[in-house]
Amino acid sequence: MKKNSKRGNGKTSARNIVRIRPGAKSIVLGVTGSIAAYKSAELTSLLVKQGHEVFVVMTQDATEFITPLTLQTLSKNPVMTSFYDEKENWRPGHIELADRANLLVIAPATAHCIAELAHGLAGHPLAAIALATRAQILIAPAMNGKMWEHPATRENVEKLKARGAEFIGPEKGMLACGYEGIGRLWKMDDIAFRAEFLLARQDNLIA
Ligand SMILES: Cc1cc2nc3c(=O)[nH]c(=O)nc-3n(C[C@H](O)[C@H](O)[C@H](O)COP(=O)(O)O)c2cc1C
């Protein structure tokens, strides 16, 4: 990973510790229908460069913002967008991915997707994988600040945190909807770094 500098005081930072690589893992990357979905291309590349197998699962709305072809090419794996893509195996592909995942990252995560996850809905492959997997879930939200601050979203986020999901972001900044405030998708290299940290922690490589 590129962020590995030693601090000026000679102490080892958390970023150095995370360079203890967990080895190749399977990461399912969920992409939902946010204007920030195009950034998932960079995240896919970073996770692949970190040595992992990346399986992208997109909601139908996400395909309005970035093509499955882009993410298929960058991840070097087929991209799942529908339950009915899954024709090759007797075993449903979404269950296979749920079992195979060492980590489920959802970036960007819309308000809608967060609500679905909080309520245990399973109407599309990404939501079904989130329900079926026992892997850690890392969620990077992106949305309008008023949507993020709405009590419904706050409750949904708290529910997911209580079940062990981890959130990264959102951050403050200029939003695509024209407002300035909280709601921007967190930086891709930090999300990739956090994914690496969570994988290393599973292997007890770091405390
Ligand atoms: C141009 C545009 C940008 C959008 N950006 C966001 C966003 O950043 N976050 C969000 O929660 N919803 C956003 N939406 C609304 C979602 O696309 C919508 O809620 C959709 O149902 C989400 O579906 P999904 O969660 O299944 O992907 C946007 C819609 C449009 C048309």
- Could you identify the atom of ligand 1 that is nearest to the CA of residue 61? 27
Q: Please tell me the least confidently modeled range out of 31-35, 75-79, 172-176.
A: 172-176
Coil, strand or helix: which one is 68?
A: helix
User: What's the average model confidence in pLDDT over 12-22?
Assistant: 46
Question: With 70 as the cut, is the pLDDT of residue 18 above it?
Answer: no
The dihedral through the CA atoms of 132, 133, 136, 139 has a sign that is negative
Look at residue 54 and tell me if it is in a domain. Answer: yes
177 among known catalytic residues: yes
CATH code, 33: 3.40.50.1950
Among residues of the chain, what percentage have pLDDT more than 70? 86
Out of 76, 177, 179, 203, the active site residue is 177
What are the pLDDT digits (tens) for 127-165? Answer: 999 999 999 999 999 999 999 999 999 999 999 999 999
Distance (Å) from CA 22 to ligand 1 centroid: 34
Look at residue 19 and tell me if it is in a domain. Answer: no
Question: With 90 as the cut, is the pLDDT of residue 99 above it?
Answer: yes
Confidence of residue 206 (pLDDT cuts 50, 70, 90): low
Question: With 70 as the cut, is the pLDDT of residue 16 above it?
Answer: no
- Could you identify the atom of ligand 1 that is nearest to the CA of residue 110? 11
Confidence of residue 21 (pLDDT cuts 50, 70, 90): low
The reported pLDDT for the residue numbered 102 is 97
Look at residue 12 and tell me if it is in a domain. Answer: no
Look at residue 118 and tell me if it is in a domain. Answer: yes
Pocket, ligand 1, Cβ cutoff 6 A: 32-36, 59, 61-62, 110-113, 142-143, 147
Confidence of residue 180 (pLDDT cuts 50, 70, 90): confident
- Could you identify the atom of ligand 1 that is nearest to the CA of residue 185? 8
Total domain count, the chain: 1
What are the residue ranges of helices labelled H in the chain? 14-17, 40-49, 68-75, 93-100, 111-118, 125-132, 145-149, 151-162, 188-202
Distance (Å) from CA 35 to ligand 1 centroid: 7
Distance (Å) from CA 153 to ligand 1 centroid: 14
The reported pLDDT for the residue numbered 86 is 67
Question: With 50 as the cut, is the pLDDT of residue 13 above it?
Answer: no
Distance (Å) from CA 36 to ligand 1 centroid: 9
Q: Which one is predicted more confidently, 14 or 66?
A: 66
Pocket test for ligand 1, best of 32, 80, 82, 110 (most atoms within 8 A of CB): 110
User: What's the average model confidence in pLDDT over 107-120?
Assistant: 98
Look at residue 18 and tell me if it is in a domain. Answer: no
Question: With 90 as the cut, is the pLDDT of residue 25 above it?
Answer: yes
Angle at the Cα of 21 from the Cα atoms of 132 and 19, rounded to 5 degrees: 125
Q: Give the integer Cα–Cα distance in Å for 94 and 128.
A: 7
Question: With 70 as the cut, is the pLDDT of residue 14 above it?
Answer: no
**Domain encompassing residue 64:** 28-202
**Average pLDDT of the chain, as a whole number:** 89
- Could you identify the atom of ligand 1 that is nearest to the CA of residue 62? 27
